[in-house]
Amino acid sequence: MSASESTPLLRDANGNGQPGHRLSWSERVVKVIKAEGEPSWLQSYRWFIFGSWVNILLLFVPLSAVAHHLNWDAALRFSFSFIAIVPLAKLLGDATENMSASLGETMAGLLNASFGNAVEIIVGIAALLQGQIRIVQTSMLGSILSNILLVLGCSFLAAGTVRAESVFQVTAAQASSSLMTLACITLVIPAAYNSTISKITAPTGDDGAAERGLLLISRGTAIMLLFVYAAFLWFQLKSHAFLYQRNDEEAGSINSQETPVPEEPEEEPNMNLPSAGVALLVVTIITSFCADYLVASIEETAERYHIPKAFIGLILLPIVANAAEHVTSVWMAMKNKMELTITICVGSSIQIAAFVVPLMVIIGWITGHELTLYFADFETICLFVSVILVNTLIQDGKSNYMEGLLLVTLYAVIALAFWVS
């Protein structure tokens, strides 16, 4: 083809070096669906379903549905739904991770914000729509405590078995813990307000004044927290992303007694983008049904077998919902990827405190359920002392097995207190 004034200076490869045409919207969609250069749909779903032995527990998904609709014993309904959520939580994490690998860092952050705590959101919404306000509150609080105490503590313990000390970016950790502290304070203020206003209105018998005030404070605070969380995502992913990068020179100078752990190459996605998206949607829908079955059986199970409802919401549900995250965090800590460990543990807690809890308040506002940020005084104190301990331990940018033991011990003490509450 002879050159002319209209000939482009830069040519693409659509026509073997000749000027190519711009793909239409339908052509781009077909190209994405075909997933050229990525694992095929068959390979993607084969890995997704058969890639882990944990997926054997998916057999409990139909069992939980059968037990619910045939009204089997409450313990069976609770146990089947409880076990079914374990592989579903892992599948949600797998699908999100593969989508993140294909979409890049920014979209990865948005996906992790939306689906990283999908099980908590689903369980929370199911409990909220059934009027189980206490289950919503205790499951949210339990997710925060399990991440910053149990998971972070186990990660520090695991890292301590490999090296004497582990280091991480202290500035990024402090920024995350500061937001965690703010979210904690937003739970303390409603408790302080309720205590004060109750003393004032007690002589008049106007109990509705305290409830109206709590609703106004909680809904206004929820909106502001969602805004702050959006700003934190921008801070973490864009404006100050360098703070969350690994400092290899400092890590190498500190870990003099470290047992060498080989760095693993970056893994390729095991699923193509559209198949991961479809899997994410399907698993989310299935999880919503299992969560609904689980919440529906809590009341009867707690009464018949004398298990405190607060213990179920605070300890059992979060451990199941975050099972996949727990394993990932400990494994990353053993491989000396402490920045990623801190992000998983503290970041997940921030997602719950500054995103999921305010979201539950807004959903309750829309659906007519009066969910507030007022937690019981004992629960608020447990969260407050936990955040103080975590802030104290991570402020030096180093960790060891003793710090991990302190965190796990505090979690065990809180679990024991809620068991006898």
pLDDT tens digit sequence for 102-111:
665 445 555 6
Secondary element (H or E) of residue 364: helix 357-367
Write the DSSP string, 76-123.
HHHHHHHHHHHHHHHHHHHHHHHHHHHH-HHHHHHHHHHHTTHHHHHH
Q: What single DSSP character describes residue 245?
A: S
Domains of the chain: 41-245+269-420 (1.20.1420.30)
Question: Measured between alpha carbons, how far is 47 from 213 in angstroms, rounded to an integer?
Answer: 52
In angstroms, rounded to a whole number, what is the distance separating the alpha carbons of residues 143 and 128?
Answer: 16
How far apart are the C-alpha atoms of 77 and 298, rounded to whole Å?
9
Q: Residues 282-305, buried b or exposed e (16+ Cβ, 10 A)?
A: ebbebbbbbbbbbbbbbeebbeee
H/E stretch holding 398: strand 398-399
3-state helix, strand, coil in the chain (%, to 5): 75, 0, 25
- The pLDDT, as a whole number, for residue 412 is 94
Are 170 and 397 in contact by the 8 Å Cβ rule? The answer is: yes
Q: What is the pLDDT of residue 117?
A: 73
Q: Which parts of the chain sit beneath pLDDT 50?
A: 1, 13-19, 105-106, 248-264
pLDDT number for residue 23: 63
The pTM score is 0.74
